[in-house]
Structure formats: structure tokens, C-alpha cells
Structure 1
Amino acid sequence: MKRMGWFFLSNLALILLLVFAYHFTGADIHQSALGFFEVLVVVLFVSLLSAYFAFLFSRYKAKQSLESKMLNTPGNDVEGWLLATVAKQARLAGIPLPEVGIYDSADMNAYASGVSHSMISVSNGLLFFMPRAEAEAVLGHEICHLAYRDMPKLIAYQGVLNLGVFYLSVFSSYAVFALFLIQPDEILRFIAMLFAVLVFSVLSAALLMRFSRQLEFRADEGGAGLSQRPAMIAALERLNGERYTPLPEKMAVFGIKGSLASGVKRIFMSHPSLDERISLLKRHA
């Protein structure tokens, strides 16, 4: 659960607030088609809006926690190469030039973030310890996240999942008691709703992370197209052999490497394993 970070927790808080509002305002969405439609629209709007603000909050926390130095003009040859490479790839991908930043870490990593205003930030380690061709492939991967609008897709998908969690939680709390012919009091029904929220929120988190893993495969393929496929494969192999230092939990979903996990925890990984990604790139070569 930790790996879901702020993005998951903020959405869980939203669903809990919706359930509180539903319960204490006396809304009755299971008896009226009009009431159902009204609540559907309100919940969908609030779900999408909350997912959007959760994303913006994650972006702000990323800048704050990683302390990225945003580049306007290059201060040395490395920064010049970075700005020129991002500009070239953004042009090839047909997107506006994103903000470019560098954060202080010996770990080789990079992440992209943005909806209407995008940014790419890379670590010192990636710039100084990874060959230029491989670093260019990593940058291409991040550019493709922006070009494919993966962050808005995650927001929209999370919003729809929030809607599903809300309705499944409300209706299941009625269905379970009806199945066993129990007439619960309001407190018991409310507790049942909260329990259902927790269960369905975990399931929605697993679905969101599965969607995120599919986006990573697509960004790898795009990064190989913006650079060179052998360079993309070599970059992932280098990352696979590196001593691992993850991004902060709340930003793991946006990084090139993601998180390491095994067993059941793999269900909640934002990224596929590097071995899977390398294997798929080689099969499509």
C-alpha cells in the first residue's frame, strides 16, 4: 500500500468524504432514476476533479522533495546537451517544450510530469554515469509519456475508478444486508459502506497500477523510436544491474524505473519489471 503514495491516499480520502456526504445528507440513489443520474454526474465530476488535484499535488511534492534545479539556460556542456536533446525529442514528438530540471542523486533515474504544463527532471547520476546514447533513450521514454498524455489518462482512469468504488460500496452495503434479510440500523450500514470503500479502493489501486504498467511498455517502445532500440535496451539493462535507489514513493509512478517488489506486491507496482521490459523490446526488434 505504501507504494501508492499520495495519489492513492488522496483518492481514498475523497471516496470516504463522498460516502460521508451520501450517508449524512440522506441521498437515496437506489430508489429514483433522477436521483441516481444526479448523484452519478456529481460523483463523476468530483472524482475527476480530485484525481486532477491529487496529480497536481504529487507534481508539487516531487519538485519539493527532489529539489529539482530547473534550467533556463545551460550552465555547462552537460546541461546544454540535456536541453538540446529534450528540445529535439519534443519537436519530433510534436509537443511543446517541457520544463527541464536536474535533481541531486547518484541514482540513474528520470521522471516526467504534467497535464497542461509539463516537466522532465533527471538525476545527476543519469547524466554523469550513463552513456549519452542510453540517456537519450531514457529521455525519449519520458518525452513519450508527455506526448501520449499518460498523466491525463491516469487521472481520467483514476476518476472513473473512484466512481466505481463509490457506487459499488453504496450498493454492496445494501445488497449484503438484503441477501441475508437483515434490517441494519444506520450506524451498521455506514460501517459496512466504509469497509466496502476500503476493499474496493484496494482493488481499484491494483487496476490503476496495471494500467500504469501498460503505459510503461508503450513509452519504452516510443523511446526506442525517438532514439535507437539498442540504446533503449542497453539503458534498461544498465538500470537493471544498478544498485537500486528508488524515487520517493509518491513519484515512483512517473519515474523510468518505478519500484522493486515481488509476490503479491507486484500487483501494486507502477512499473513492470525491467526484465519484462527488456524482453518485450528485444522481441519487437
Structure 2
Amino acid sequence: MNGLKTALLMTLLTILFLFIGKMIGGQNGMIIALIIALGMNFFSYWFSDKIVLSMYGAKEVTEAEAPNLYNIVRRVATRAGIPMPKVYIMQNPTPNAFATGRNPEHAAVAVTTGILQLLDSEELEGVIAHEIAHISNRDILIGTIAATFAAAIMFLADMARWAMIFGGSRHDDEEGGNPFSAVAAIVAMIIAPLAATLIQMAISRSREYLADETGAKYCGKPLALASALKKIAYGNEMMPMDAKPATAHMFIMSPLSGSSILHLFSTHPPIEKRIERLQAMAAGRL
């Protein structure tokens, strides 16, 4: 169901890009915006693992250094049918974790020291299974594609705004202008970036639900993951992480969830709904 929802949202984002592109950028503007957005997000996609791991001071560990964690990652990766990801630990008391890497062959799982201290082995396995699910579901790629279209739409809106500032008034004076098309362009410039952002966030939330569901199947213990999420939510509330907004979507729980961000603009679903779905899954109702 969440896979279908993602496909529908991606289709909607593509249609929005094509419609807005044709309206306010024309074919040439649309191509330029897409090329710029592709260039920016290709770099992010290719080097995101190194950038994010370095940003949070994550250090790679060996099996000898973290045997329990390493064995859990290997066990879940085997069940998921993917190569063994690299394992990293962040020296941070806030309980959290994330996965990164452009594909299953170049993947990494990172956890904080806080989550290692807080969770028992079954709960930790649930968290690792969630992160492995992101890798096997290729969520980094899907997120990059969504970000590319959203960025292209924002570029188009900026292009139209600058065109109106520097050329719109003169063109209207010379040609008589078209009030309706001018109003439509203004509305598009305002609404399109907002709509693109909302769709991008909805895609992110659908992938979190899917990672919960897939991860619960990998570890075979939906209630262990539900228990872990409850503990992580409490830990994040008591001891918030100093995280960058641009990377918040990567964590199993948004480090920004304690702020007053509206649900529609959140990268993660409400924790209560995630726990309810896992409980329903354990009871065979999902």
C-alpha cells in the first residue's frame, strides 16, 4: 500500500513539474531547471554517505569493537538479501540511527551511543531492520528523485519571478498584457513550490511507514520496533539532538520532531501512528 502511495505521489510530483514548467518556464526553462536540479541532487546522491557520516562525526567500527551491533546488522542484512553494510557509531547521547549510501552495495548504518545504551537487543534489532529496509527499498534514490523534481519546480518559480521583475512590466506595456495569464503565473509561483514541498514530505512519510513495515518483517518482531520507537521518542524529547534540518529525514525519528513543525511539513509520520500500525501488524490486522 505504501509503495503504491509513493508511486502515486511521484506521479503527481512529475505532473506538477510538467504543468508548472509549461506554464511559467516554457520548454526551455523546464529543461534548464531540471538540469540544474539534477546536477545538485546527483552530487548529493553520490556523496551523501560521506557527507552525512562526517557531519555527525560517525566512526566506522569493526566486529571486534562492537560485536553485538555488528552481528545484528549482519543478521538482518542477510535476511534482507543485501551485502553487509558498513557499521558506524556516533558519539551522541540522543538515541537515534540512520542509513545512507547510494545503493545496497555502497551502504552504511549509523547509530548513536545513546541508542546503544537505551535499547535492549531485540529493540536494537528492530531499529537496524528499519534502517536496512531503507537500504533494500532504495529510499535514498527515491528521495533524491523527489528532491530533484521539487527543486526544479522551485527553480522555475524563481525564474518566473525574476522574469516578471526585469521584463514583465515592459512586456505588458508593449503588448497590452493578459491579466488572467499574469495572475495565473503569480499564483503558480506561490502555490507550486508549496505544493511540491508538501508532496515531497508526503513521499518521505510514506517511505517511513514502508520501512517500519519491511523492517518488522526482517526482524520478525513488530512490537520490538514499536517499543524502540517509543523509547527513542522519549529520549529525543528529553535530550534533543543538534541536527541539521537538511538531514532530519534520514533518521529513524526526526531530530526536529520536538519543534512546532506542522504535520504536513514533517518528514516523518506521527510516532503514535507508527506504533499503532506496528501493533496492528503484530496482531495480524495489517
- Give the TM bin, normalised by the shorter chain: 0.7 to 0.9
Tell me the distance in 2 between the aligned counterparts of 1:264 and 1:66. Answer: 23
Matched, 1:163 2:152: yes
> How far did 1:206 drift?
2.6
Runs of 5+ unmatched residues, structure 1:
1-27, 31-35, 186-192
- Match for residue 243 of structure 2 among 245, 248, 251: 248
Residue in 1 aligned with 2:280?
283
**Residues 244/216 of structure 1: CA separation in 2 closer, same or farther (3 Å cut):** farther
1:248 maps to amino acid: A
Tell me the distance in 1 between the aligned counterparts of 2:116 and 2:170. Answer: 65
**Residues 194/124 of structure 1: CA separation in 2 closer, same or farther (3 Å cut):** farther
Residue in 1 aligned with 2:71?
84
- Match for residue 131 of structure 1 among 105, 108, 120: 120
Deviates more, 1:159-168 or 1:63-72: 159-168
Matched, 1:201 2:190: no
With structure 1 as the length reference, what TM-score do the two structures score? 0.72
Matched, 1:221 2:206: no
- Match for residue 63 of structure 1 among 48, 53, 56: 53
Residue in 2 aligned with 1:4?
none
**Is the CA contact 2:115–2:232 (under 8 Å) kept in the aligned structure 1?**
no
> How far did 1:108 drift?
1.2
SS of residue paired to 1:183: helix
Tell me the distance in 1 between the aligned counterparts of 2:240 and 2:258. Answer: 13
Residue in 1 aligned with 2:143?
154
Runs of 5+ unmatched residues, structure 2:
1-23, 175-184
**Residues 54/205 of structure 1: CA separation in 2 closer, same or farther (3 Å cut):** farther
**Residues 170/64 of structure 1: CA separation in 2 closer, same or farther (3 Å cut):** closer
Identity %: 24
Residue in 2 aligned with 1:25?
none
Aligned residues: 242
Residue in 2 aligned with 1:97?
84
1:115 maps to amino acid: R
**Residues 226/102 of structure 1: CA separation in 2 closer, same or farther (3 Å cut):** same
